[in-house]
Amino acid sequence: MKKVLIITYYWPPAGGPGVQRVLKFAKYLPEFGWQPIILTVKKPTSPARDESLVASIPSDAIVYKTRSIEPFGVYKKFTGKKSSDFIPKDIIVEKTHEPHREKLSRWFRANIFIPDARIGWIPFLILKGLKVIHNEQPELIFSTSPPHSLQLASMYLAKLGHLKWIADFRDPWLEAYWESEISKNRISHRLNSWYEKRVLKNSDCVTTVSPGIVELLRSKTPNRYECLYNGFGIFYDEFKPSDKFKIVFFGNLSKYQSPKLFFDALTSCSDTIKKQTEVYFVGKIFDDYNDLIHQYSELNIILQPYLAFDELMMFCSDASLMLLIFHQTSYTLGYITAKMFDYLALRRPILAIGLKGGIGEQILVETESGQLFNYQDLNKIQGYIESIFNKWKENGSTHIETNLALNQYSTRENVRKLAKIFEEVTQ
């Protein structure tokens, strides 16, 4: 069996969508003749921790870990956070009421740590990577980011190890939503742009999560670009009855995913619907939304801390409607959030809020999994909530049947495509 060296910052027991993508890829690659050799960090600064994912690591995967020097320990002390607090990737996004220490920390993150605050991992990654290449003799390198600093290390490893290299992007580099409003000086911006173009130009192939991000990256420099969806592994479509109409959003709710329109639409529904409805936000929400939620006291809004993935899927077994709010960014039309595929696996109707005409709406329509509404469609959103509520009252379930259109979004099919790319790149 051929070997592929997979370089990833996030790996179990770290949790979150970044872990899910690479973990699923590693799980299915042996079916297509590739053994995953994982190179990761010992103690990642992760937005979540999920011990249950450790059991999902493939038995034939070989995992190497290396230390790293990161500034987040200093950041936590400087800002008064606990050492056990998790750091979200949008930490550098400005909040309404923000202490001066936070503002100063954001400036340092934006202008000193280029391309990101994990640059301290680069020397350890290169040194350990050379040893792993010598011991394992992989055919190629597959590196997945963010953090994008690992792509720089992977570029040097590929050159020093005389290996083919595929760079995988789960998010854009310069255009990522958490980068959009931070204040960078001219030098740091140019340096970051130069790093990005070097990675895109020198890799043998670039993979990413959606057709829109493919076109965004292709516009920067010529290369081979391929779309590999995050996908879903299995269906979690067992339905448990509930005496409440349960609406669920899970994952991080960022500054660019305001739930206000959804709250307004639900407030416009009848008292009967509001009394029987519970809205759950599972995971981390942007700090300013706590004040927003307090303004909708007539709604049953419940904040649930992060749950391990399997526990999360079980939590959704009695959900009747899934809420999906797309980021309002420059690449919204071409981007697909990872949670969308987990929603598809649940086979519950999806109420999506975003820009019409994008890849997200296309997937919902062709898989018959829900509807997407514009950011101003209050009355239409209200009508959709009412229609799903009535279905729940009449049938006791809102389960959606599977169809053939879902096949192309399964992880197995996307790993099949990835393995084919591996074969073509190494020929």
Mean pLDDT, residues 284-301: 95
Is the distance from CB of 29 to CB of 234 less than 8 angstroms?
Answer: no
- pLDDT range class, residue 376, cuts 50, 70, 90: very high
Mean pLDDT, residues 156-171: 97
Beta carbons within 10 angstroms of residue 1's beta carbon: 9
Task: Report the chain's mean pLDDT, rounded to a whole number.
Answer: 90
Are 218 and 271 members of one domain?
no
Share above pLDDT 70 across residues of the chain, in percent, rounded to a whole number: 89
CB proximity list for 104: less than 8 A, separation 6 or greater: none
- pLDDT range class, residue 99, cuts 50, 70, 90: low
Ramachandran bin of 350, using left for φ above 0, alpha for ψ from -120 to 50, beta for the remaining angles: beta
Are 253 and 396 members of one domain?
yes
Are 177 and 132 members of one domain?
yes
Confirm whether 164 is domain-assigned: yes
Are 144 and 222 members of one domain?
yes
Residue 159 has a pLDDT of 97
pTM of the predicted model as reported, rounded to 2 decimal places: 0.90
Are 124 and 193 members of one domain?
yes
Q: In the structure encoding, which two tokens stand for residue 365, read together?
A: 């329509």
Are 261 and 352 members of one domain?
yes
Confirm whether 169 is domain-assigned: yes
Write the single-letter amino acid at 408.
Q
Tokens 């606990």 locate to: 82
Q: How many domains does the chain have?
A: 2
Q: Which residues does residue 207 pair with via DSSP β-bridges, in sequence order?
A: 168, 226
Rounded CA gap, 149 and 196, in Å?
10
Are 175 and 264 members of one domain?
no
Are 199 and 300 members of one domain?
no
Is the distance from CB of 172 to CB of 115 less than 8 angstroms?
Answer: no
Which of 387, 370, 264 has its CA nearest to residue 323?
Answer: 370
Residue 60 has a pLDDT of 86
Are 252 and 399 members of one domain?
yes
Confirm whether 23 is domain-assigned: yes
Q: Which of 16-20, 55-59, 69-73, 207-211 has the lowest mean pLDDT?
A: 69-73
Confirm whether 204 is domain-assigned: yes
Domain extent for 356: 245-403
Are 104 and 136 members of one domain?
yes
- In sign, the C-alpha dihedral spanning 252, 339, 167, 213 is negative
Are 192 and 47 members of one domain?
yes
Are 209 and 322 members of one domain?
no
Residue 95 has a pLDDT of 52
CB proximity list for 290: less than 8 A, separation 6 or greater: none
pLDDT tens column, 319-358: 999 999 999 888 889 999 899 999 999 999 999 999 999 9
Rounded CA gap, 345 and 337, in Å?
14
- In sign, the C-alpha dihedral spanning 308, 229, 415, 400 is positive
Q: In the structure encoding, which two tokens stand for residue 392, read together?
A: 């729940």
- pLDDT range class, residue 90, cuts 50, 70, 90: very low
Q: Is the pLDDT of residue 165 over 80?
A: yes
Residue 109 has a pLDDT of 67
Tell me, what CATH number does 27's domain have?
Answer: 3.40.50.2000
pLDDT tens column, 5-20: 999 999 999 988 789 9
Confirm whether 238 is domain-assigned: no
